[in-house]
Amino acid sequence: MYRINTNYQKLPGSYLFSTIAKKVAAYTEANPDKTIIRLGIGDVTQPLTDPVIKALHKAVDEMADGATFRGYAPDLGYAFLRETIAENDFKARGCNIEADEIFVSDGAKCDSGNIQELFAADSRIAVCDPVYPVYVDSNVMAGRTGSYDPETGYWSDVIYMPCTEENGFVASLPNEMPDIIYLCFPNNPTGAAIKKAQLQEWVDYALKNGCVIIYDAAYEAYISEADVPHSIYECEGARECAIEIRSFSKNAGFTGLRLGYTVVPKDLTCGGASLRDMWARRHGTKYNGAPYIVQRAGEACYTEEGKASIRELVGYYMENAKTIHDGLKSLGYTVYGGVNSPYIWLKTPDGMSSWEFFDYLLDKAGVVGTPGSGFGPNGEGFFRLTAFGTHENSEAALKRIADL
């Protein structure tokens, strides 16, 4: 008789954004006359840019012609894309990353969930609190997190690194020794950015203690300040201790198209084993590559025209971030993020819990956000709004909040 992976049964509730979607669906059904403004999940609203659309059309035409048709993509990604990424995202920033250290995938979410497969079952993970839920949930599924305490919201075997107003939402080095450290900067959900000197401390710590850092840089395109690193490989020694995950979703609007990549440098070895080779082996066995047409669309993001179009897209969302951030501030809210990030992280008013504020905002203003406590206990009393809406919706949401 078969048995199931009982680790799944340890997971509390459903995935955060599925829970929110269900709540909003129930509200919409009960209130069909009310219009909802969705600033919850970080999903983009602006169409794909011209260079991307042109590249997609061209690639589709190639697929319609026997002379240029492509079957299976190389499972690590097409060389044309990997080489372009290495040049533009890394070498241009002084980071020594080669094309054969880049693994193209169908998105950062899958990579950040799957990467834990490379590590021993009894590895200890350290995560920021609050944190993007995928890092913890994927380790729960792998049986690495111990038991869940519904009272505190903590897993017994996870090391939590509090991100609070006091530390500017940038965690301090952990008190206990982890094996795997998850960092995400610019941060989801708090919108905080890390300075290069601060990130170097993490790299030094990992090198000294034999830890690996999984660095999620999905929001890199939103960095606007000069001393904020775009890649962990800007730090000395990071090639020996860090994996970096990137996305085309938030910069180029590929949430529906799906494209991302992970960098596993050749210098990252453990007991003589190359993590790069292990990840390549995994890709070879479990993955058939992102679609050709999508990889061509990704390549188009790096032409001069493509880069300009991405700057424009990011600029569009950052205008929303400013509208929401400054607007809430002028209404008396305590607000963070929104400067190097498309996320605005606000303190709930009048001591409301995160979920109380979620219900209040949905019911009274028809605005959907994300409760901070959904990202971890230290998110309690906070709330996340995304800048990925339209200008009209961002302004309308602010007006509705002002009218409360």
Residues with Cβ within 8 Å of 78's Cβ and at least 6 positions away in sequence, in order, are 104, 289, 292, 295
**Among residues 188, 320, 323, 348, the one that binds ligand MLT under rule CB under 6 A:** 188
* 195, 206 contact by CB (below 8 A): no
User: Which of the ranges 20-28, 40-48, 148-156, 291-299 carries the binding residues for ligand MLT, by CB under 6 A?
Assistant: 40-48
- Comparing CA positions, the residue from 404, 306, 344 lying closest to residue 53 is 306
**Region binding ligand MLT by CB under 6 A among candidate stretches 39-47, 171-179, 231-239, 396-404:** 39-47
**Sign of dihedral through CA atoms 184, 181, 87, 71?**
negative
Q: In whole angstroms, what is the distance from residue 34 CA to residue 363 CA?
A: 10
The answer to the question of residue 109 lying near ligand MLT (CB under 6 A) is: yes
Nearer to ligand MLT, 132 or 215 (CB): 132
Residue 41 touching ligand MLT (CB under 6 A) = yes
Q: How far is the CB of 40 from ligand MLT (least distance, A)?
A: 7
Decide if residue 341 touches ligand MLT (CB under 6 A): no
x/- string (CB under 6 A) for ligand MLT, residues 114-153? ------------------x---------------------
Q: Which residue lies nearer to ligand MLT by CB, 198 or 249?
A: 249
Residue showing the smallest CB distance to ligand MLT in the complex: 42
What distance in Å separates the CA atoms of residue 135 and residue 160, rounded to the nearest whole number? 12
Residues in Cβ contact with 25 at an 8 Å cutoff, skipping those fewer than 6 apart: none
> Does residue number 24 form part of the binding site for ligand MLT (CB under 6 A)?
no
- SS3 (DSSP) at 270: strand
* 3-state secondary structure (DSSP) of residue 367: strand
Question: Of residues 37, 38, 39, 42, which one binds ligand MLT by CB under 6 A?
Answer: 42
Could you tell me the smallest distance in angstroms from the CB atom of residue 66 to ligand MLT? Answer: 38
Count residues near ligand MLT (CB under 6 A).
Answer: 6
- Name the 3-class secondary structure at 95: coil
Give the alpha-carbon dihedral of 304, 232, 215, 161, to 10 degrees.
Answer: -140
By CB under 6 A, tell whether 36 contacts ligand MLT: no
- Residues of this chain that interact with ligand MLT (CB under 6 A) are 41-43, 109, 132, 188
